[in-house]
Structure 1
């Protein structure tokens, strides 16, 4: 695939903070950006050349994207497959590809794929009926985590089951939809790895980050994480297996359970730039957003070696109101998303606290 020159147009499905930061990175490389999002005046639309305000399955909007954009990507994984096909029909290249979307949109397919490329996960059981759920609990034991197969993020769409008495209530709470039951993982900490693959098959991998959550939402990521050589090697093997197995183009985020002694389980994959990769904006010469644009537009992948140690902290809700005090601190870089209103739990921005890299 030929590299697209500066002045080409990149389309982004999604106008939230990830689309905003992708647009800013693309602009630095000389590309024009068009956003498709149903929300008028979206955060990404306000920093881009233009925005098409329409649903993601609007045929006219998709036809326009296919005609005016040289390449199209997305900031979230629940893009309708038919939308991708329609954009492609208009002549634009779309990355990541349909296999990555299909796998990431269904948790059962995701875990089946991961096990197929020898990326180990927790034990799991497909659930379509309450009888399936009871059979899964008998097989996996309790506590176990029941998740909807599709959609759900930041702790949504999932319920812990601690005893058989909880099963019916959990099933009803998730609407009786197709689900996956996952065994509990006895892990020491959560790690994540951000990696990229170009259309020529080249791979670039960032150092691991260590994540801490509260209420099902990511609060902080510290990177590079303190890991031993076995853990680093295992994570990189997983990243390459996922990227190559999906014939992937772009940046992927992979969340991992660290069991200790170099043993890792994959929690989930995200076929896009990822919250746990925000540290790269102030820790690496080429951050995850520029890396994704490079891959999608066919450019050589950038360097992933860190030059600083970074602690990334999400700003949720009215925490963003501390911007004046935070912006005056010499060791902090503040990244605000231009969202309104500041609802409780809503990601409004993030901070990167920068430290010297310890060798």
Structure 2
């Protein structure tokens, strides 16, 4: 094990957070528990994290003056949103340490760059081509073939900014669907996968790394619906997934967390899909199920503290509560019925407005096996949705 980082930031220090959503909210709760102060920069009013921080700087992420103000009042700055403005973060980095660095974000914000980086580090990915015009899409399709997926190279998450091509004849429709959403794109071959998995790897400035157990993920309409831990894969596959996550975290020089979404193909190979240098939806179960939560681990990493033990204490499943599922979750009788399912915990994010496709909260269920955790999580979700 590597030694603790030199001169750690101890409780009482102030952490700056770029982004004030639910990931920042859960980070704030852990920071408060451990005696740290938190200042959040977010353009929203009463955002989930702002409800628990010591100070909320309400300003756009591109507001240089506001970002420099955050830098000046913070001992270290971290992120809950990987699409923060890189140029502004570079200006902040002249005044305060930022973890992860703007260099990491520059890779993570662009799908071509992240796959190029993965290939350089010896990590497998689906076949892909950069696309900047309708003519380049035709050329990429000739090289990769169909089925494939055309995605915006920047932004776009939870299934947004992408279009499926089932055959070469779908090119016109796919280009029309996404071409107005950016300037450059990526065409990816569709992977015939057995399972989608993810690993969250923590890395400190001293190079200490620790990977959380592999999560098995189910998506609906491009949005994560359910995660089951441990993933029901052979240990050799799980070990390779952890190796890939650690290799990317080390190769990119991440300080903080790196979430890596991957495919397991029919031959058991691991192919990287996307990375996010922040806490991840598929790691929410860590609060109840692991020796340290992903949010405390992020805090430990960016403050230079020894990393916690991410070992799984009990099998778990996490299911998202979307706006169409449970509204804001407040005053909902189904919540009591869901909590009657053994091992169930409820998290609501404090968002004032529920919308379809918006994450409003989640349920985590602990059990004696992954199968039992999944069954109970589905039952708890059905109860809160049906309960009104």
User: Normalising to structure 1: TM-score of the pair?
Assistant: 0.96
Map of 1:46 onto structure 2: 51
The CA distance in 2 between the partners of 1:52 and 1:129, in whole Å, is 40
1:154 lines up with 2:158 in the alignment: yes
Correspondent of 2:99 among 95, 98, 116: 95
* Cα offset, 1:260, TM superposition: 4.0
Map of 1:354 onto structure 2: 366
Correspondent of 1:30 among 16, 32, 35: 35
Map of 2:293 onto structure 1: 287
Correspondent of 1:178 among 179, 184, 187: 184
Number of aligned positions between the proteins? 357
The CA distance in 1 between the partners of 2:74 and 2:67, in whole Å, is 10
Runs of at least 4 residues of structure 1 off by over 6 A? Answer: none
The CA distance in 1 between the partners of 2:365 and 2:133, in whole Å, is 47
The CA distance in 2 between the partners of 1:145 and 1:201, in whole Å, is 36
* Cα offset, 1:164, TM superposition: 2.7
Correspondent of 1:120 among 124, 129, 133: 124
Correspondent of 1:16 among 1, 7, 21: 21
* Cα offset, 1:339, TM superposition: 0.5
Deviation by residue 1:311-358 (Cα, 9 ceiling, x = unmatched): 100001142343333244441011110012111121000000111368
The CA distance in 1 between the partners of 2:177 and 2:91, in whole Å, is 35
Correspondent of 2:140 among 115, 120, 136: 136
Map of 2:270 onto structure 1: 264
* Cα offset, 1:161, TM superposition: 1.1
1:164 lines up with 2:183 in the alignment: no
- Whose strand proportion is higher, 1 or 2? 1
Deviation by residue 1:102-136 (Cα, 9 ceiling, x = unmatched): 11100000100001101100000110111110011
Q: Give 5+ residue unaligned stretches, structure 2.
A: 1-5, 371-388
The CA distance in 1 between the partners of 2:69 and 2:338, in whole Å, is 41
The CA distance in 1 between the partners of 2:201 and 2:361, in whole Å, is 23
1:71 lines up with 2:71 in the alignment: no
Deviation by residue 1:31-62 (Cα, 9 ceiling, x = unmatched): 00000000111110011111000011212211
